[in-house]
Amino acid sequence: MAQISMQLNYAGNKSDVIKDVLEYEARGLDVVWIPEAYSFDAPSAMGFLAAVTKTIKIGSGILPIYSRTPALIAMTAAAVDELSGGRMILGLGSSGPQVIEGWHGVPYDKPLARTREVVEICRSVWRREPLVHHGLYEIPLPPEKGTGLGKPLKLINHPLRSTIPIYIAAIGPKNVEMAAEIAEGWLPIFFVPEYKDRVWKQAIDKGLSRRSDELGAFDIVAGGLLAIGDDVEHLLDLARPQVALYVGGMGAKGKNFYNDLAKRYGFEREAEEIQELYLAGKKDEAAKAVPSELLRLSNFVGPRGYIEERVAAFKEAGVGTFSVTPVGKDKYESFSIFRELTL
């Protein structure tokens, strides 16, 4: 049976958001993802949700690997896992230069090597091994870089679990290959099952060929807006600003991974237009330029029969966890119907 997950919004009244989460939990929600980017931090909300929920898994969606040391990421995940009774999922990602350099003020360098090392350190910490690593983070520091007083340490607490699932957000071929090799799951954005083989098959196959059996099946988390009904297609327009933000505004020309993805999907002309408009401050026009086909294929908006077809297409592409954002006046009913369709 497929899982259903939901990502919280960056903004909005947090009290209303919590009420929504509790309602969806009662209706069968399996996972809630808490985003961060350059909004409020994710772990604070994760800890709060651990206290007020009972069954849903609580995932970071995502924690950027540059904004915290690997040890702190591991400590945070272990703490939320204990507070939630073993319901933590660690979602990690490199984000992009716009957020990492523009907001956090640290260099965006070596994202592949850094991601791999963070994953290794987290798993070592959770096993309570002395933290000794000589990669990008030189731990312990060589004498010429430190005080000479540092020594390998292990986590004081005994984690509830020695293995916490790690999901990696990735869209570039090398990142996706790495996710398939070392992570329990993959968090793509704007996923279209019909384009998966053309864009990602080679990378996924390479990663899976080196994957340890101990990691289990490779879970793909994908989806978008959810609205089921005969007169809901207009709700697809709600996705336009976000797509325009990512494709047009998350980076400069030549440095926008989401723009590159749209081009790899075959929307070269549209991606160029969206970026030019967005960077010129014409955000509304950029949103209007988002291809309707991309919106239709990456979201679950339409009559029940059509949604059944889309669920089948996503499952055929290997999606094991659907990610949905219910919208519209019948959003709770749409969620319940979707839950039935994915059983």
Read off the pLDDT of residues 45-68 as tens digits, 9 standing for 90 and up.
999 999 999 999 999 999 999 999
CA distance 231 to 228: 9
10-25: pLDDT as tens digits:
777 777 788 899 999 9
Secondary structure class of 275 (helix, strand, coil): helix
Same domain? 178 vs 284: no
Contact 59, 34 (CB under 8 A): yes
Quote the number of domains for the chain: 2
Contact 290, 269 (CB under 8 A): no
Same domain? 248 vs 225: no
Same domain? 59 vs 143: yes
Buried b (16+ CB within 10 A) or exposed e, 204-220: bebbeeeeeeebeebbb
Q: At 146, is the pLDDT very low, low, confident or very high (cuts 50, 70, 90)?
A: low
Q: What is the residue-wise DSSP string for 31-77?
A: EEEE--TTSS-HHHHHHHHHHH-SS-EEEES-EETTSS-HHHHHHHH
Which residues lie below 8 Å from residue 118, measured CB to CB, with a gap of 6+?
Answer: 65, 70, 73, 92
CA distance 188 to 220: 8
Same domain? 22 vs 93: yes
75-108: pLDDT as tens digits:
999 999 999 999 999 999 999 888 999 999 999 9
Same domain? 166 vs 195: yes
Residue 45 Ramachandran class (φ > 0 left, ψ -120 to 50 alpha, else beta): alpha
Same domain? 96 vs 144: yes
Q: Give the CATH number, domain containing residue 314.
A: 3.20.20.30
pLDDT over threshold 80, residue 302: yes
Same domain? 208 vs 277: no
150-190: pLDDT as tens digits:
678 999 999 999 999 999 999 999 999 999 999 999 999 99
Domain coverage including residue 306:
3-231+299-341
Same domain? 243 vs 98: no
Same domain? 134 vs 214: yes
Contact 168, 187 (CB under 8 A): yes
Same domain? 278 vs 193: no
Same domain? 169 vs 240: no
Same domain? 58 vs 206: yes
